[in-house]
């Protein structure tokens, strides 16, 4: 199976309005910049997006949000995006805020084929509304459901033609687990190498989870917060 595609435009063939996407990254670290730009260019809309956060107003996922391409966000942290706040408060955007550890586990569970699990985080808060509650070992737990997506879009430092991926430091974040939870997983990589060049002991995501891979270009790698003294 040939998994290598030319670019982001070819990678997202079949991605349509109304689909559910997982977008890797944490803040601006490890986001699939090329694919996000292509999604913004083709103006696909009514997307349900699962991502740790919504980026910033003028970059990354924030551009899709600004252009009203998202109808729902399932996320953990959204504090750096003023447009997100505006759309949420005005009722334009449906938002499901999930504790960060729970979000990570829901994605991991979806990728592992686990339909649901119990977790103590969120009990007694707004997060618990409408959820099944059970007691385990004297502690109350909420039932949470695994998450999957039509497309999982991730970004890695290195990848090979079979789809094996190595993430760079903190860019591992949500990318690794999301790669397992998409019906179609797209990986954009900084360096695409022939099969056999990656050390098997260093591979984070095995190629069995990846259907399409391409080498990205012109990464900005913006810094979300820059502190100097």
Q: Residue 66 is part of a domain; what is its CATH number? A: 3.40.1080.10
Which of 54-90 are b and which e, b meaning 16 or more Cβ less than 10 Å from the residue's Cβ? bbbbebbbbbbbbeebbeebbbbbbebbebbeebbee
Q: Mean pLDDT across the stretch 96-115?
A: 97
| Residue 170 belongs to a domain | yes
Residue 227's pLDDT is: 82
- Is residue 108 one of the residues assigned to a domain? yes
The verdict on residue 105 lying in a domain is yes
Neighbours of 203 (CB within 10 A): 16
Mean pLDDT of 113-134: 96
Contact 19, 48 (CB under 8 A): yes
Is the separation of the CB atoms in 224 and 47 below 8 Å? no
Q: Answer yes or no: is pLDDT of 147 > 90.
A: yes
Predicted confidence (pLDDT) per residue in 155-212, tens digit: 999 999 999 999 999 999 999 999 999 999 999 999 999 999 999 999 999 999 999 9
Residue 133 lies in a domain: no
Q: What is the DSSP secondary structure assignment for residue 92, as one 8-state letter?
A: S
41 is a domain residue: yes
- Note whether residue 140 is domain-resident: no
Task: Check pLDDT > 80 for residue 79.
Answer: no
**Cα(215)–Cα(98) distance, integer angstroms:** 32
Q: Is residue 97 part of a domain?
A: yes
> What pairing do the DSSP bridges indicate for beta strands 165-166 and 116-119?
unpaired
Domains identified in the chain, total number? 1
CA pair distance 153, 137, nearest whole angstrom: 38
Q: Is the pLDDT of residue 223 over 90?
A: no
On the question of pLDDT at 225 being above 80, the answer is: no
130 burial class (0-12, 13-18, 19+ CB within 10 angstroms)? Answer: exposed
Q: Residue 4: what pLDDT?
A: 97
- Domain range holding 182? 8-116+146-215
């Amino acid at each position: 199976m040939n998994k290598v595609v030319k670019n982001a435009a070819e990678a997202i063939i079949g991605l349509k309005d109304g689909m559910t996407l997982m977008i890797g990254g944490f803040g601006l670290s490890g986001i699939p910049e090329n694919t996000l730009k292509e999604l913004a260019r083709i103006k696909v809309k009514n997307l349900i997006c699962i991502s740790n956060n919504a980026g910033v107003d003028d970059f990354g996922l924030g551009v899709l949000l600004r252009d009203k391409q998202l109808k729902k966000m399932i996320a953990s942290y959204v504090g750096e995006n003023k447009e997100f706040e505006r759309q949420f408060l005005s009722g334009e955007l449906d938002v499901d805020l999930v504790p960060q550890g729970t979000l990570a586990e829901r994605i991991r569970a979806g990728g592992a084929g686990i339909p649901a699990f119990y977790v103590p985080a969120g009990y007694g808060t707004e997060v618990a509304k409408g959820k099944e509650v059970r007691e385990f070992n004297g502690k109350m737990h909420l039932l949470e459901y695994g998450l999957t997506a039509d497309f999982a879009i991730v970004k890695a430092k290195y990848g090979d033609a079979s789809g094996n991926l190595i993430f760079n430091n903190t860019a591992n974040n949500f990318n690794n687990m999301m790669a397992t939870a998409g019906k179609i997983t797209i990986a954009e990589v900084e360096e695409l190498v022939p099969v056999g060049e990656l050390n098997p002991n260093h591979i984070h995501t095995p190629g069995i989870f990846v259907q399409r891979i391409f080498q990205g270009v012109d990464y900005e790698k913006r810094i979300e917060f820059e502190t100097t003294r």
